[in-house]
Chain A
């Protein structure tokens, strides 16, 4: 009898199911630059979003927000969703998400300013709330920040545990004149992200989108 009792006690944790408290889900927050001529690049952004929808698994979270004059706001979120754990329901949600993005791309208007920092701060909030195990902030922008007069963004940002990936960082006309401007811009963002506890990466080759989730 004692033997059986001991056996049950040993097996109990296994029978209980060993609940894993670590979150294995991924959270992706994509910021779309809608300033000036970058609106034309939205078709590319749509392709990236489609790739992400195809890659993300049930239980993952995703949000797409635009970068405009003041991006630290929930109003700028175009679509956000935490996919259901059942694959069939998750597929339906993805279809809905895609529909929302399609509507946005068709009706998107250019903004006068580019508040990337506000968007990043908003994304950190969303990802923390979603409780994602792996956090990705994708910035689809040329990384040139133009703020409305009076907006304060020149302070350190906290992006602990976040992978910040800059996508399709296009070279501006002025970059062609002096490439150092481009490198300085990228380097400034890298330093800022890494100082905030995040990982910085650039993916310009949109044929290799699998690099987004590497590392």
Chain B
């Protein structure tokens, strides 16, 4: 007996059989309504709670990561500001050493100039004219009545003349003395000027120091804000990190371009040294050797920059004592110099090989060389110079690399936080969707069994009509 025949309850009438089955199903579903609803609700709740839990865990992870990002950013910020403040202090130190180290000399010069001016000033002080007591005597003599006595009048005239001439002499002496004082004051002018210049110089130095102090103040304010771990400081540092990330990434791309050119410059002549037909893991040995040389140059550049304390990628190098560091600087520089010289030689060899290959191709193609190449030494020299300069240029990759590495910590952290936030939202959304799917399933379930539900409602209405009315009123 096949399954189809089993389903055919009413032989010969499939429609009737189907209807009977539907009625049976509806009745069964109606009977199982309450447990089915419970099961659907439970399932929906389980899924909903599961997703909510997952979302919560992800949110917690996101919060932790955000906190860690903030700590990393702030610590990087503190380090950076500390470096800036340190540099400013170094500058102040340099200014003080340069300009104010000569302060005793300056002070002595100023003191000498002041003494000289003081002496001159004393000398130039105005001598008061002789007291005018004799003027009173003259006036008394002049007021004596002559009473028509010619002798007395003559005596008085003589006295008057003598007095006037005496007055003239006194005035001349006074003028002479004033002129001398003016001369002395005139002599003081260069001293004043020199003093003004000296004071101006001191003023400039003091102004420079004042500006540096202002910069240090600003940095200190920034430093304090970071130390207080304010959100504003964290936001500013994050924005700064993003900028650094993109700028250093761009510079690194340029450096990679330089490295590629460098690679092409030395890959061909390398085959002359290590053979053109040998391979390392699918790559030509010559290419690998050229790449290794470039990487060694970059590494040496990193060490050199580290030893010069331009970058701080390897704390162990920065912590070395100055003697060791100087040795390291010379060693790395020597290796770089040797490698640069090797590259220049390889670039020369490359030109020779390329010329030989060109000649061979021409002979194979039966083409006569059309005269000597004009200024053929220019590309040769150009290649050699490039081969020598590029390793040193690659040295400076250390600076953007440090910025890139440091800023990428923040950037990657920010990206990870964003991803976690979206994941948390998505999980929460899925939880809610599953909850409402449960509701939907319950409603769909009721839709399948609407005839018995309708009948049930009718019966209930007839049994408790007042309850329903009250419920409706409520």
Contacts and interface: CB of A to CB of B under 8 A. Distances in A.
Interface in A1-43: 17-20, 22, 24-25
B277 A50 contact: no
A21 to B, nearest CB: 10
A87 B273 CA distance: 10
Given A50-B364, A58-B271, A20 B353 contact: no
Contact of B276 (A19, A50, A59): A59
A19 B277 CA distance: 13
A17 B280 contact: yes
A137 interface: no
Nearest to A89: B272
A90 to B, nearest CB: 7
B86 interface: no
A85 B361 CA distance: 18
Contacts of B361: 54
Nearest to B352: A88
B357 A91 contact: yes
Interface in A36-58: 50-51, 53-54, 57-58
B277 A24 contact: yes
A40 B278 CA distance: 40
B365 A85 contact: no
B356 interface: yes
Q: Which of B276, B280, B357, B361 has the most CB of A within 10 A?
A: B276
B281 interface: yes
Nearest to A26: B277
Q: Which of B279, B280, B361 has the most CB of A within 10 A?
A: B279
A60 B278 CA distance: 11
Given A86-B271, A87-B357, A58 B276 contact: yes
Given A54-B360, A88-B353, A20 B280 contact: yes
A58 B275 contact: yes
B219 to A, nearest CB: 40
Interface string A67-102: 000000000000000000111101100110010000
Interface residues of A, number: 24
Given A53-B364, A95-B360, A86 B280 contact: no
Q: How big is chain B's contact interface, by range? A: 20 to 34
A135 to B, nearest CB: 16
Nearest to A60: B277
A25 B360 contact: no
Nearest to B357: A91
A51 B361 CA distance: 9
A103 to B, nearest CB: 15
A197 B271 CA distance: 34
B371 interface: no
Contact of B278 (A50, A53, A85, A90): A85
B279 A57 contact: no
A54 B357 CA distance: 9
Nearest to A20: B279
B282 interface: yes
5 contacts: A18-B281, A19-B280, A50-B364, A85-B277, A86-B275
Interface of B: 268, 271-272, 275-282, 352-353, 356-357, 360-361, 363-366
Interface of A: 17-20, 22, 24-25, 50-51, 53-54, 57-60, 85-88, 90-91, 94-95, 98
